[in-house]
Structures are given as structure tokens and as C-alpha cells.
Structure 1
Amino acid sequence: MTNYKIEIANRILQVETDKLAERASGCVLLKYGDTSLLVVSQLGEEREGVDFFPLTCQYEERYYAAGRIRGSRFMKREGRPSDRSVLIDRIIDRAIRPRFPEHFKREIQVVATCLSFDKENDPAVLGLLGSSLSLLISEIPWQGPVAAVRIGRHPPTAQQGGKFILNPNYQEREEGELDLLLSAVERPSLSGMVPGELLLNMIEGQGNEVKEDLICQAFEFAKPFLKKLIDFQKEISRKIGKEKIPLSSLSYDPDLKKEVEKFLKGKLEKVLYQKDAPKTEKEIKLLKENLLKETEEKYTPEQALDLFEENLEKILKENILKNDKRPDGRKLDEIREVKAKVGLLPRVHGSAFFSRGLTNVLSVATLGSPHDQQLLDEMELVGKKHFIHYYNFPPYSSGEVRPMRGPGRREIGHGVLAEKALVPLMPNFDDFPYTVLVVSEVISSNGSTSMASVSGASLALMDAGVPIKRPAAGISIGLMEGSDGNQKLLTDIQGAEDSHGGMDFKVAGTEMGITALQMDVKVDGINGKILKEVLDKAKKARLKILTEIGKVISQPRPQLSKWAPRIYVLQINPDKIGEVIGPGGKIINEIIESCGVTIDIEDSGKVFITAEKEEAAKKAIDWVRGITKEVKIGEVFQGKVKRILDFGAFVEILPGQEGLVHISQFLAQRINKVVDVVRVGDIIPVKVIGIDEMGRINLSAKAAGFKPR
């Protein structure tokens, strides 16, 4: 087996290439620390009649990689991919897709399987590197390589400034103020551009309200390591890479080109440049249908539609690059009209409507008990999650009809992106022990719905009274790039600017800084200069949106919604937890059922009581306090007689705590039977006169002034 090694971040990255998946187009086994991934690329057949590139990227988690067996009692095989798997699928896809030749329509499948996981080194970075290398050494015509690193940053302290970390471990990522996954390529030799320049072609990251300059500095810090990984892959490809399959040249019949141009002349620009986006979409669709009718006798519909899109893109680019002219008439850095409302829905805990142009999002916040936390049982992550954001994109939001099934990759990805943007703003669980779920419903879509979800979710949280640090918002910046290197940035992209543009760069954050960012490109990538311009324009737009949000609600409501449950926290002696729970959960279940509350107990002795009504919570609190109260000798109680025996009576002095009144401790004079002086259910005064080594309580009625009925 042929091995190749390189040192990155004081760890050895090892690549093995021989005798693995021998029938696959390309295959590599990567090892970094004790994390290992097998990545395979496979070339399929030509797909006839498709208007998209059929690339499938799949990241496969295996529980055995972490030395675990899946937790379900009934199903041990890995089933539906976890959200984390889906996110890694998307990361790989977004980085490698732009490097395939235009008009290439053969099926490609890239499968990355995690075989070993050391809980230190990130499989996402390895999956992306392995995908690049497996494609590079295969016969698949792919214009790589792509390099990837993760950049973290220690926050500054009183003793020293902040410090960037290359490929941080999980703890460093959790504790740091920045977590960026950067993917880069080398610019090919093109007129008007610098060949060999490192370009970012994919970004996925989150930050703790970091400044824009910090993102640019992170890219500069990463450059030498990205270049090192690109050269490493090139060297391997030179030694063992297969010859690439020839690409069939795509040429259109000159007569068809003339016919399409003649048919579209004057029509396409008129349809494209109007402020009514739905009308534009309908008229473009009608124009396509009419074009196909005109050309169907002589030419294939695929060629006619390809030429239609080429003409549309040409008009769009020329008008933006030469005249700064956008389809809806906005300036290049102008955002669409922003509208916001809160408190729309009467019985939910928090609700908000956010609108930017024709992009409309309804966000709803729900508060629950600690018991409602999401349990994480994945290969990488095991634990609990108390803030969750879901994103739904029904077909009607884009004027379409299609089956409605579970959330797809896009919905999962957009939901997590908005969640990342809000996590740094959420209160600490110790201070606000609620599980918080926000659902963003996209009810109308026309560009950057994920960033609208950030704004909508932020508004809904404040409407619910969740004490977030401050409101957040997001915006998407697009790019138009000419063949001569001329580039123009577009703020708040929509419609054709998104589908025919060269970049979709989403930036979310607050007035203080960035909390989440994500970039995809269709061009080669962007350099550091464009990165800075993008972040500056995004900040300007974000602050404008935040100003509009502030006119509706500028800070969280001082009180929670009256429909939200109330959580009460008390601390008990950890040694008393067993007494609260009782044998087989008898006591705690009795409290829950009798009071109508939810109770969660931590090992530290912290008890969370969640109730819809204050009276129910108070009853449960008194009950728990009664069980856990440390009774002292000499204390006097009004107790309830629970059981009568020949030698005495058991009296409940506190909820869950009983003591024995011996028959001799009722009256000064002798009595023959306990039932002569008390009955079950009687309330009598008792005094604690002793507690033995087993914690059993001895009581005296006569010492407390008891008088029989």
C-alpha cells in the first residue's frame, strides 16, 4: 500500500491509495491522529434529459468508529443520516461541485465513510480533503484540487491577545470565539487575473460576535497551510493519477444560436427587468415554452434551453458589470424593503413575521422544561441541546406544487445556519433553564430565506421574553464576474441574481459582530480583497435591517408570555435525591401526577420544577422541600397520622417524611390502645425527640402539648 504523509498542525496527515476500493474510479484512506476516513469517487453514466449536474455526496457515520453501539434497543444499524452527517454532505458538495466542467452531465457519487473517530480531529475536514484527492487521482474530469482547514481562535485575555488555532480540537472549538472551515483553490491562468492566487471557494463558520477583520485575518493565517495541502495533492496526482476521460466538446448549431437570439431579442430583457418578481418568473417560463415550440422541429429541447440560459446570463452580467443595472432597479448595495411584526399568534409563546421584499418568514418560539432538551446520540456528539432552530420550506413558498415529506438537506442546512447565528446570543442555561425551540416557516421565497429566518427567529425570541443579548439579522451578498476579471458585488440577491450569479455569501450577526457565515460559489472563488468588501457590505446591510427591527421591538419583553410554563429551581442535598425519587420512581411520580408538574433533577442536586400554574409549582416545591428538609431534634410540627400499630403511630411531619410516636409518648398517663386517643388522618402536634443512626425519627406528642379529642 502506497503511503503519503504531510505534517499539518503538529499532526501527521497520512494518505493510503492502493488496493482499497479497486473497482472505484478513485479511492483514498486518510488518517489524521486516530480519525480515519475512506473516501471513494465513482463515475456513472450519462444522464439524458437532465438540466442539472447529477452529483451526489454522502458522508457516512459508523458508530463503531467511536467504539459505540447505537443506543436504540430495537435497531442497532445506522439508519437515517444524522443532521451532522447531512451538514458534512453539504460541505463537501459545496466545495467540489463548482470544479466540474460546465455542461458535464455524467453521474458522480462521492462517498466518505468515517472508519475511526478519536474525538479530537474533525471528520468534515478529512472528508473534504479525501473527496478532492479521490476525484483528482480518478479518471473523472475534475478541476481540483481543493484544500480545506479549520481555523479556531482563542479569545483574548488580560494576559495576552487572541490566537488563531489550526485544526482545533472539539474543546478548543467550543471554548473559542471563532470556528471557521475554509476551502480554497488556486486560480487558473485567465486573462486579467493573477494565476496561482489562492481563492476561497467555500466557507462555513460561526463566531461569538467577531469583527469582520478577524475573518480576513483568519484567511491570511490559513493561506500557507491551504497552499501546502494543494501542493501535497498535486504531487500525489502526478505520481498515481489516472488519465482523465476526454470531454465531448459542446457545440451548438450556428443556425440554432441565431434562431434563439432572434426569438429572444427585445423580449428577454423586457421580461427580466421589472420589479414584479412573480410576474418575471411566469413570463420567463412562458418565454421558454414558446421558444421550445419554435425550435422543436429541428433541435433538441436541451440545446434550446441551454442557449436560453446563456442569453439570460449574458444580459444579466453585462447590465450589472457595465451599467450597475439590476433587474428590479435597485442600486448594487441596496436592500429590499424590510417589514417586521411581533405577537401575531395569540396562544404561542412568541411569534414574529419578517419580510424583505418577497421573502417572508413566520417564526414561532416555544419554551419548554429541561426535560424537553434534545438528546444527542450521534457518532460525534453525545449530550443534550437546549436551543433548537428548525427551518421549513413548503413548496407553495416558491409557487410550486410537489410532495411534502420530511426535511431535506437544504432545510436541515438552513435551519442549522440560523441556529448557529443565534446560539452566541442565547442566555446561559443556568440562568435561563428553558428548552427553547424556534421554528421558521418560509411562506414566501425570493432570495436568502435562511438569513430572513435569523431575523424572524430573533424577533420571536424577544417577543417570547427570552433574554437574548441583542437582536440578530442576516443578509446575502452576491457576485457577478466577467471573463476579463471585472467583478461587482450585489447586496440582498434575489431571483436571477442568485441562480445566475457567481456567489452566495450569507453573513449573520448583531450590531457588535458576526455570529455565522456561509459562502458558496459558482466561479473559481474570491480573494482576500473581495472577502473584505463582502463583509463590509454585509455589515452595512445588517445594521440597516437591525435598525428596522429595533423600531418594532429592540429588546426582549420583560416578562415571559403568560402561556409559557414557569420553571422554579431549588437546590437540595445530593444525598437526598434518592428520597425524592423514591423506590422505582414512586415518590417523584406521585408528586408529578398530584401537582401536574414536570420535575428534572441533576446529579448536583439542582431540581427544576416546571408548571403552567404557580399554585401547582408551589405545592410541588413544598413537597420536595419537605422530603429533603433536615429535621432537627427539638423541632415541633403539626403532623398527620398515617398509620396506627399496636406499639404506636406513624405521623407525617413533612411531605415524604414520617416519624414514630411510641404509645408511651402520647399522654403522661398510660393508655391501652393508640386508637383510644388518635385516628388515621388526625392532625396532631409532635416534637422530634430523637434521630437514630439510620435516620429514623422518634416523635413525642405529649412533649408538644397533645390533648386527645
Structure 2
Amino acid sequence: MTMFKKAVKSFQWGNHQVTMETGEIARQAGGAVIVNVDDTVVMGTVVASKSAKPGQSFFPLTVDYLEKTYAAGKIPGGFFRREGRPSEGETLISRLIDRPLRPLFPEGFLNEVQVVVHVLSINPDVPADIPALIAASAALAVSGIPFAGPVGAARVGYANGQYLLNPTRSEQTTSELDLIVAGTQAAVLMVESEANQLSEEVMLGAVVYGHDQMQTAINAINDLVREAGKPEWDWTAAPKDEPFIAKVTALAEAPLREAYQIRQKGARSDKLKEINKEVMAKLEADGDVDAVAVSDIIFEIEAKIVRSQILNGEPRIDGRDTRTVRPIEIRNGVLPRTHGSALFTRGETQALVVATLGTARDEQIIDALEGEYRDRFMFHYNMPPFATGETGRVGSPKRREIGHGRLAKRALIPVLPSAEDFAYSIRVVSEITESNGSSSMASVCGGCLAMMDAGVPVKAHVAGVAMGLILDGNRFAVLTDILGDEDHLGDMDFKVAGTANGITALQMDIKVQGITKEIMQVALAQAKEGRLHILSKMQEAMGSVRTELSAHAPRMVSFKIHPDKIREVIGKGGATIQALTKETGCSIDIKDDGTVTIASTSAEGMAEAKARIEGITAEAEVGKIYEGPVVKLLEFGALVNILPGKDGLLHISEISTERVKEVKDYLQEGQVVRVKLLAADERGRLRLSLKAAMADEGGTIEPLAASTQAVAEEVVAPGESA
């Protein structure tokens, strides 16, 4: 007899065996499910408070995805030897889980909900993000918490014209697509993807394919709920105070309609705040007022006004029609001492983007569960409070900033040159200086232009556009280049980035059900139209990559040496390479395959470093004449240094055609001589000849006393005795 009431569901999902179980671990949580996908094991848990806090005005959902190093059989680094703050990867997966779950909680449900997913075991070939999303969804489904799930998810790849279901990491290396789609049985809710310039048709097909394939996981979760699910909460939304709603509407609707005729964001925002204050003042005069409730009602009125205007074919908030992109201004090279920069302005959204070039030493070293790797391309997005005319905290990046930076990075990766063609590491930073919607896509455009300004040979221009959709029954409108207000008030927002040839990144967040494949098809076609318009503006501003790097960027040269020579370049305890670095002012990086990369802002220093390394690694050639100092005199000859670290024996018989009695009569230490390499044996011993070099070059060697006398005679003045 066991103390556990354990339920297990197993199913085959593509090439993977999946097991879900509940009832044994974390039984005091509201819901807990363990998901095992081919030895990648995650635990999803959820806990919710039984009531909302008084005055709660928003839904307090938090999602945390946590990777434990023991999952990969590793001990954490650092002094304390335990996990610290979440990594960027953990933050991104936390957002990935949050996005499809959040829209499925009922309106008016304001109880605090916390979802925590732990990675307990990792198969390096099976990423943990899809199992984590399924575990979180299953935990919510069995908990009984009000939730319109379950949610399923799938990763889709694309290779050789075929879609791949949940490709392994090794399969992803040959895939042209990395797309994650999440949704319910009836609808797609979230898409996150990176693609190698694929068409809209291929991308939409991948979304549909992923939604079809995730049904297997959704059905398994439903089976688990039927066997082990907790009773559903007895929760109903608080009834709406219709008379109060009507009263607020009567006071606010007409002024709000007038406010939404103001096209400029700042003036419109000021007017909306003024209306809010006036409505509150009138309501307070009649008695106590719940400010949160009034704010919610006003938001609903605003949404109704904006949505109805657009669906009726009236101008949008800023006066545009549904297909027009805001005016675009582009300026390149705006910062004089950076490696590359661009100022991209689209309406009231502006990004100042800077590209910096570095060496292999500047690459980001990422210690992931699957193993350590290096990333040569970094994209960082920052949005300070002043960008929206507000005050606020300035410090480490928030989840939103990390997510936007990752989206922009995804969009640009497919057009980057290979490390073989462009050995630099690249960091792009987007500083959002103004924001009224679509700042992540402005970062994509500005990032591409900044890299071109820095001389990075990107394969093509990349532009991004944020789209919106408003759906009401059978009527819908797709909005190109949405504003911030349109983002909040719409039913779907999706961001599409790509070149003239195809899509490089696609992100969708769908807030309602009923968005069909046909609607998404129309939306993607309209997004392509907007993207091509922006690309034309970018090409006008900067038609091609700069051929010359900035004077402040490091120059770089790469060449190969024999791997066996690496230790000679490094020297004992790193002495040789440290001396080279210090004396030439260069950064020198040597890979295990013998690739040497030298970087410096000084062409002379770089040339000197290269020549010295080539000298250290050069192989002595028999028959070649070398010049070098005499390093030691011997009774039977002398040692002459012909290459760095390579001394050869100049035998006494090879010094002169005349008979040499004493080596010191002809040579002295430090004297520079030209010698010919006669032979080299298998042990690397070199045999040199001075007389052979003289014979080849037509010179002679005199005894030191004779040569000294000759020099003295040359410097004595006429008529003087020596």
C-alpha cells in the first residue's frame, strides 16, 4: 500500500517518448506535474491565493522557469557554489511560458497566481522549453484554478521542404526554421520563431502544422485531468455594476471621442488624463468612488471607441489608414567615435543603435545546462523611462527588455557573415529614445543599419514591422505599424522581420479565439507590404555596407600556423605571447586548430605581431640563406640564431674557404652574419655554412683583426698615420 495517489500518462510524440505524472511530488502545491521527454525532466507547479487582495487592479501572475545545474550533473561555479539570479535564457523561457497562459485566465480573476517550473534532468539533445510549457499548462489544468486551457506547445523545424516536429538540437543545426507555437485545442495563442529568409506561406504552414501536432499533448493533459484533476474552483466574476458603468459612460464617452481625434501622442495623453480627473471629480462629488473600477470602465470605453472607428473604416488614432507606415527618418554614423551607429525614427518611435566590433576574446561565454558555448553576436535593448515621457527605475534590464533584445537578435542572425568571412565578435545596443509602439522592430532596422555602418558584411537589409488585428464577429481589420495604444486595445499583435527575400523572425501573441488561418494569411501578406516599404527607405539611406571600418575599430588579420607550433608562440608560462601583446599593442588569440587572430587599431603593430609569429613558427628551409646573430662561440664552430628559437651549428670548416685556426679570429658573439642552411636532421639539428652563403652572394669573410685594420684605415684622415 502506497501513500501516493499517483497518475501517469505516456504517449509517443513524433520521435519522442513523453510521460506526464502527478500525485507523488509537490502534493501541497495547487497543482504539480512532472513531464519527462526522453530524459529531459521538468516539474511544473502552480499555487494561487483563494481571494484577490483588496484594491487589486491587475492580474498578478508570475511565471518562473529555473534550471538546476544538478540536472546536467554539474556543480555551480562561484564562491557559494549554488544557483544565483536567473540567466537570460531562463528569463526568456519564463516569458515564453507566460505569454500563452495569461490570456486564458477569466476576466475579473485577480487572485495571485505563481507558476514555477524546475528543470530536474536534462538530455543535451532535448531542449527543456517545450516540456516546461507543457508541465506548466498541465499543472494549471489539474489544479482546478479558473483557466480556459489546457495549452499545448510544439517546436517546428523545416529542412528539405519538410516540417520537423520537436527537432533535437542536432537536427536544429540543419533546419532553416526554429519555431515554437503554443495554443489551445481550438486556437493558436503564441508564436516565437527564427527563420532563414522563409516565405509567408512556409511560416504559416509551420504554425498550422505545430498547432495540429500539439493536440497529442493537449489530449494527454485532458486524460490526466480526468483521472487526477482537483475539483474546479467555485469562482465567478463579481457582477458588473451596470448603473455605475452607464453613469461613467455618460460622463466620459463624448470627451473621450473628442480626445481620440487628437493625432499627437503627448497632447492626446494629456487630454485623456484631464478627462479622467474631471470624471473622478464629478463622481466624487456624488459620494465615494472606487478609482480602480472607474479606470477599468474608462479603458473599456476607450477600447470600444478606437476599435469601432477602425472597423468602420475611419482613420486610426494618429490619422493613418490601416496599411500606412508612419514617416521614417534615418541617419547613419551619428556617433563619431563608435564603430557604427544609426538613428532610426518611425513616427514617435526612435532607436539610437550602436554596433561595436571586438575579437574572439570579447565573445560571450554562456555556461548553459547543455554545455558551455561562445556567442559572437550580442544584441542588447534598453528602454529608459524618458522614452515615454515618464520617470522610473533605471538599472539592470527587465524581462521585457531582455525579450525585445532577443527578438531583434533572432531577426538579424540569418544575415550575419560567417566567422570565417568576418572574424569579429559583434555587439549591438539599441537605446530607445522615444517609444510609441514597435520599438523592438525599430531596433531591428537600426541594428541592421548600425552594423552596415560598422562595415559588417551583412547578406541583406533586414526590416521589422509590428502589426495589430481587431476582430469583431465576422469583421476584422489588420493594422500596419501599430501604436502603443493600438497594441493594448487590439486582439492580436505580431511582429514580422525579414529581408526582401523572406522572413527571419516572427512573433505572435493572440488574445482571443476565432482568428483563423485565412485571417493570419491576410495579416502576413499586409505585413510583407509594410516590411518592403521600410526596406526601401533603408536602402535609400544606406544602399550597401561600408567598405572601410571605422578608424576606431580594431583591424584584424587571421592566418594559420601548424597546431604543433602553438606552444612555441605561447611560450613557457605564456611569456612569449604576453611579450608580443605588450610590445606590439595587439590582441592575439590562438585557437586549437592553429588559427591565429591578431587585432589592433594600429596597422604597424599588427604587421609586426604577424611577422614575429610567422618567424617563431617558420620552418627552416634547406638551401635558404638566413641572417642572424652569433649566439655562442665553440671550439669547433659557433651557434647562429637563424629564426626565433632556432639555432644552427656553423662548423669551423664552414666559416671560410681559408683554413681557420681559431673561431674567435673570424667571429664574435652578437655579430650578425649571413649563413646558408646545408641540412636539417630528423631531430631538428641545423647545419649552417657561412662560406657557402658568401659564395652564393659573391662576398668574402676576413679575419676580425684584418677587418678592424681596414676600418681604421678608412677613418684616418689624409696625411695622418693610423
For this structure pair, what is the TM-score category when the shorter chain's length is used for normalisation? over 0.9
For the Cα contact (< 8 Å) 2:7–2:224, is it kept in 1? no
| Counterpart residue identity of residue 542, structure 2 | I
| Residue 545 of structure 2 is aligned to residue 540 of structure 1 | no
Task: Check 1:561–1:54 CA distance in 2 against 1; reply closer, same or farther (3 A cut).
Answer: same
Tell me the distance in 1 between the aligned counterparts of 2:442 and 2:94. 24
- Which residue is 1:496 aligned to? 485
Q: How big is each residue's C-alpha offset from its partner over 1:155-203, in whole Å with a ceiling of 9 and x where there is no partner?
A: x3xxxxx1111000112222111111011213xxxxxxxxxxx321000
For the Cα contact (< 8 Å) 2:328–2:344, is it kept in 1? yes
Task: Check 1:656–1:436 CA distance in 2 against 1; reply closer, same or farther (3 A cut).
Answer: farther
For the Cα contact (< 8 Å) 1:354–1:455, is it kept in 2? yes
Aligned counterparts, 1:427-466, within 5 A:
427-466=417-456
Q: How big is each residue's C-alpha offset from its partner over 1:220-265, in whole Å with a ceiling of 9 and x where there is no partner?
A: 3234322222222222212221122222432343442233112213
| Residue 355 of structure 2 is aligned to residue 365 of structure 1 | yes
| Residue 69 of structure 2 is aligned to residue 63 of structure 1 | yes
| Residue 640 of structure 2 is aligned to residue 625 of structure 1 | no
Aligned counterparts, 1:358-437, within 5 A:
358-437=348-427
Shift of 1:349: 1.2
Task: Check 1:678–1:47 CA distance in 2 against 1; reply closer, same or farther (3 A cut).
Answer: farther
Shift of 1:365: 0.9
Q: How big is each residue's C-alpha offset from its partner over 1:423-448, in whole Å with a ceiling of 9 and x where there is no partner?
A: 11011111111111111111000001
Tell me the distance in 1 between the aligned counterparts of 2:514 and 2:561. 57
- Which residue is 2:59 aligned to? 53
For the Cα contact (< 8 Å) 2:496–2:505, is it kept in 1? yes
Tell me the distance in 1 between the aligned counterparts of 2:631 and 2:96. 65
For the Cα contact (< 8 Å) 1:185–1:524, is it kept in 2? no
Q: 1:639 aligns with which of 618, 628, 631?
A: 628
How does the TM-score come out when normalised to structure 2?
A: 0.92
Larger mean CA deviation between 370-379 and 663-672 belongs to 663-672
Shift of 1:613: 1.6
For the Cα contact (< 8 Å) 1:149–1:181, is it kept in 2? yes
Shift of 1:503: 1.5
Aligned counterparts, 1:207-226, within 5 A:
207-226=195-214
Percent of matched pairs sharing the same residue: 38
Aligned counterparts, 1:570-649, within 5 A:
570-642=559-631, 649=638
Larger mean CA deviation between 375-384 and 430-439 belongs to 375-384
Q: How big is each residue's C-alpha offset from its partner over 1:482-501, in whole Å with a ceiling of 9 and x where there is no partner?
A: 2x353221111113211121
For the Cα contact (< 8 Å) 1:184–1:525, is it kept in 2? no
Q: What secondary structure is seen at the aligned counterpart in 1 of 2:278? A: helix
Tell me the distance in 1 between the aligned counterparts of 2:605 and 2:215. 63
For the Cα contact (< 8 Å) 2:634–2:663, is it kept in 1? no
For the Cα contact (< 8 Å) 1:664–1:671, is it kept in 2? no
| Counterpart residue identity of residue 74, structure 1 | F
Task: Check 1:69–1:168 CA distance in 2 against 1; reply closer, same or farther (3 A cut).
Answer: same
Larger mean CA deviation between 170-179 and 123-132 belongs to 170-179
Task: Check 1:492–1:171 CA distance in 2 against 1; reply closer, same or farther (3 A cut).
Answer: same
Tell me the distance in 1 between the aligned counterparts of 2:645 and 2:274. 76
Larger mean CA deviation between 26-35 and 601-610 belongs to 601-610
Shift of 1:571: 1.4
RMSD between superposed Cα atoms in Å: 2.0
Task: Check 1:50–1:527 CA distance in 2 against 1; reply closer, same or farther (3 A cut).
Answer: same
- Which residue is 2:686 aligned to? 697
- Which residue is 2:168 aligned to? 169
| Counterpart residue identity of residue 525, structure 2 | D
Larger mean CA deviation between 318-327 and 698-707 belongs to 698-707
Q: 1:261 aligns with which of 249, 258, 261?
A: 249
Aligned counterparts, 1:78-89, within 5 A:
78-89=83-94
Tell me the distance in 2 between the aligned counterparts of 1:641 and 1:73. 52
Tell me the distance in 2 between the aligned counterparts of 1:425 and 1:498. 28
- Which residue is 1:523 aligned to? 512
| Counterpart residue identity of residue 235, structure 1 | D
Q: What secondary structure is seen at the aligned counterpart in 2 of 1:265? A: helix
| Residue 274 of structure 2 is aligned to residue 286 of structure 1 | yes
Shift of 1:284: 1.6
- Which residue is 2:698 aligned to? none
Q: 2:310 aligns with which of 320, 343, 348?
A: 320
Shift of 1:689: 3.5
Q: 1:150 aligns with which of 140, 155, 164?
A: 155
Tell me the distance in 2 between the aligned counterparts of 1:327 and 1:273. 7
Tell me the distance in 1 between the aligned counterparts of 2:63 and 2:661. 86
Tell me the distance in 1 between the aligned counterparts of 2:541 and 2:433. 21
For the Cα contact (< 8 Å) 1:623–1:656, is it kept in 2? no
- Which residue is 2:711 aligned to? none
Aligned counterparts, 1:534-573, within 5 A:
534-573=523-562
Q: What secondary structure is seen at the aligned counterpart in 2 of 1:137? A: helix
Shift of 1:648: 5.8
For the Cα contact (< 8 Å) 1:639–1:683, is it kept in 2? yes
Tell me the distance in 2 between the aligned counterparts of 1:501 and 1:152. 30
Q: What secondary structure is seen at the aligned counterpart in 2 of 1:382? A: strand
For the Cα contact (< 8 Å) 2:445–2:463, is it kept in 1? yes
Q: 2:42 aligns with which of 37, 40, 44?
A: 37
Q: 1:16 aligns with which of 15, 21, 27?
A: 21
Shift of 1:645: 6.8
- Which residue is 1:345 aligned to? 335
| Counterpart residue identity of residue 611, structure 1 | S
- Structure 2 residues not aligned, in runs of 5+: 1-5, 695-700, 708-722
Q: What secondary structure is seen at the aligned counterpart in 2 of 1:618? A: helix
Tell me the distance in 2 between the aligned counterparts of 1:395 and 1:649. 75
For the Cα contact (< 8 Å) 2:7–2:227, is it kept in 1? no
Q: What secondary structure is seen at the aligned counterpart in 2 of 1:299? A: coil
- Which residue is 2:114 aligned to? 109
For the Cα contact (< 8 Å) 1:377–1:383, is it kept in 2? yes
How does the TM-score come out when normalised to structure 1?
A: 0.93
Q: How big is each residue's C-alpha offset from its partner over 1:74-112, in whole Å with a ceiling of 9 and x where there is no partner?
A: 343121212111111011000100001112111111111
Task: Check 1:280–1:643 CA distance in 2 against 1; reply closer, same or farther (3 A cut).
Answer: farther
- Which residue is 2:103 aligned to? 98
Tell me the distance in 2 between the aligned counterparts of 1:654 and 1:115. 57
For the Cα contact (< 8 Å) 1:201–1:525, is it kept in 2? no
Tell me the distance in 2 between the aligned counterparts of 1:543 and 1:299. 50
Shift of 1:208: 0.3
Larger mean CA deviation between 170-179 and 251-260 belongs to 251-260
- Structure 1 residues not aligned, in runs of 5+: 157-161, 187-197
Task: Check 1:677–1:394 CA distance in 2 against 1; reply closer, same or farther (3 A cut).
Answer: farther
Q: How big is each residue's C-alpha offset from its partner over 1:611-652, in whole Å with a ceiling of 9 and x where there is no partner?
A: 212211111111111111110233211103445677765433
Task: Check 1:666–1:294 CA distance in 2 against 1; reply closer, same or farther (3 A cut).
Answer: farther
Tell me the distance in 1 between the aligned counterparts of 2:187 and 2:315. 27
Tell me the distance in 2 between the aligned counterparts of 1:49 and 1:641. 90
Q: How big is each residue's C-alpha offset from its partner over 1:548-605, in whole Å with a ceiling of 9 and x where there is no partner?
A: 1111112212222232211111111122111111111111112111111111112222
Task: Check 1:382–1:26 CA distance in 2 against 1; reply closer, same or farther (3 A cut).
Answer: same
For the Cα contact (< 8 Å) 2:8–2:224, is it kept in 1? no
